[in-house]
């Protein structure tokens, strides 16, 4: 049996391959600072900057700061993340934006959370400093709260920041994540995937700062917000089809009943159907309600099969594949 001191010595010599993944588009003003900060905090990590069709010197600045620079021609953060997850092998993945707004110094505590609790994802939930309330803009904060609330309602989960771009992942999460989104809705897909498979995760608050003068956010509050909301609803249909189509069935059934009650009442009293087209419409809507309910039943079985396949793929990977004990010097 090993005592605690011996265990600590052995654990201190375990080496994990760390990969910092930074998707970037026109972040020439900030990317060098981000790379240097992560190099200082995680000198053992490989830092990858994926340039997504930048028109400034993002790639040159990242390379000069010591990052491994690669290129993804398809526009959109989701496309970049999908390429990163496919290309890079590591034990622990740190996904972060290149705008220098996230607290780099929090990375080791977040990694410790992942390892100590054997989690698959740790999310850095954004919180502005007391003297920098403008960092997390009201429009973005309100939109995030609304969308997080929608996902809470749809999936019954307790979430702090569904749209944070600062996340730590295990290898088995990264290599089993399908990554189907193309844009900023990728964070929604990451969250819903975690909730669907009931993967162990947690959220920890980190400081969120302001962009420097001249650096502009690529996020469009309303356009991207609608895309994120649409993605959440679409994923809800895919993950919970019975509940989704049952809600539609109930809505259609209610409309059919409201249309049909006056006609049925008149028929009972007079034996006549005064509004025959309305009666046909009510019957048609009721048929659609029945078909919607039937679709929900069938697709629920399909979704269960897909969920089982995803779970088996997830279980085919170990939590970390490449950790090795270093020589004792």
**Cα angle 299, 235, 50; round to 5:** 135
**Domain that includes residue 64, residue range:** 9-239
Average pLDDT for 192-202? 92
Structure tokens at 131: 């003297």
Is the dihedral angle over the CA atoms 39, 22, 191, 136 positive or is it negative? Answer: positive
pLDDT at 225: 63
Q: What is the mean pLDDT of residues 74-87?
A: 94
Please, what sign has the CA dihedral across residues 259, 265, 266, 267? Answer: positive
Where a domain ends, among 214, 239, 264?
A: 239
Residues 81 and 218 in one domain: yes
- Residue 319 backbone phi and psi in degrees, to 5: -55, -45
Are both 44 and 130 inside the same structural domain?
A: yes
**Contacts (Cβ under 8 Å, ≥6 apart) of 237:** 244
What pLDDT is recorded for position 220?
60
% of the chain with per-residue pLDDT over 90: 53
Q: How confident is the model at residue 129 (pLDDT cuts 50, 70, 90)?
A: low
Could you tell me which residues come within 8 angstroms of residue 109 by beta carbon, excluding any fewer than 6 positions away?
A: 204
pTM of the model: 0.79
pLDDT tens by residue, 256-286? 999 888 877 777 777 776 777 888 888 899 9
Do residues 100 and 199 share a domain?
Answer: yes
Instruction: Look at residue 45 and tell me whether its pLDDT is greater than 70.
Output: yes
Q: Domain check: are 172 and 289 in the same one?
A: no
User: Is the model's pLDDT at 234 over the cut of 90?
Assistant: no
Residue 2 located in a structural domain: no
Instruction: State whether 194 and 248 are in the same domain.
Output: no
Residue 225 and residue 258 share a domain: no
Q: Please give the pLDDT value at position 294.
A: 94
Q: Which of 239, 266, 297 is the last residue of a domain?
A: 239
Domain check: are 221 and 86 in the same one? yes
Q: Are residues 234 and 260 in the same domain?
A: no
Question: Are residues 164 and 83 part of one domain?
Answer: yes
Q: Return the CA Rg of the chain.
A: 25
- Among 239, 264, 299, give the residue marking a domain's end: 239
Q: Are residues 53 and 160 in the same domain?
A: yes
Residue 156 belongs to a domain with what CATH number? 3.90.550.10
Write down the pLDDT at residue 93: 97
Structural domains counted in the chain: 2
């Amino acid at each position: 049996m090993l005592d605690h001191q011996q265990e600590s010595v052995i654990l201190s010599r375990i080496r994990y391959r760390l990969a910092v993944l930074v998707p970037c588009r026109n972040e020439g003003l900030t990317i060098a600072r981000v790379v240097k900060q992560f190099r200082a905090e995680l000198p053992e990590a490989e830092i990858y900057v994926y340039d997504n069709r930048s028109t400034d010197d993002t790639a040159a600045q990242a390379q000069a700061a010591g990052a491994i620079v690669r290129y993804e021609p398809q526009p959109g953060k989701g496309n970049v993340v999908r390429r990163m997850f496919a290309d890079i092998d590591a034990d622990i993945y740190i996904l972060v934006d290149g705008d220098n707004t996230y607290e780099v110094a929090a990375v080791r505590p977040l990694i410790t959370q992942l390892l100590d609790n054997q989690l698959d994802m740790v999310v850095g939930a954004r919180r502005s400093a007391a003297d920098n309330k403008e960092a997390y803009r009201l429009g973005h904060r309100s939109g995030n709260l609304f969308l997080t609330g929608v996902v809470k309602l749809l999936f019954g989960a307790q979430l702090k920041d569904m749209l944070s771009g600062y996340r730590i992942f295990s290898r088995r999460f990264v290599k089993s994540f399908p990554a189907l989104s193309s844009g900023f809705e990728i964070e929604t897909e990451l969250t819903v995937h975690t909730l669907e498979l009931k993967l162990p995760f947690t959220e920890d608050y980190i400081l969120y700062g302001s962009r420097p003068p001249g650096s502009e956010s690529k996020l469009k509050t309303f356009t991207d917000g609608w895309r994120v909301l649409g993605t959440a609803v679409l994923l809800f249909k895919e993950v919970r089809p019975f509940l989704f189509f049952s809600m539609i069935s109930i809505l259609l059934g209610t409309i059919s009943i409201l249309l049909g009650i006056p006609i049925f009442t008149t028929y009972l009293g007079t034996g006549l159907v005064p509004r025959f087209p309305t009666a046909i419409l009510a019957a048609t809507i009721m048929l659609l309600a029945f078909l919607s309910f039937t679709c929900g039943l069938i697709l629920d079985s399909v979704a269960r099969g897909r969920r089982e396949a995803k779970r088996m793929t997830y279980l085919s990977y170990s939590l970390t594949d490449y950790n090795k004990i270093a020589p004792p010097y």
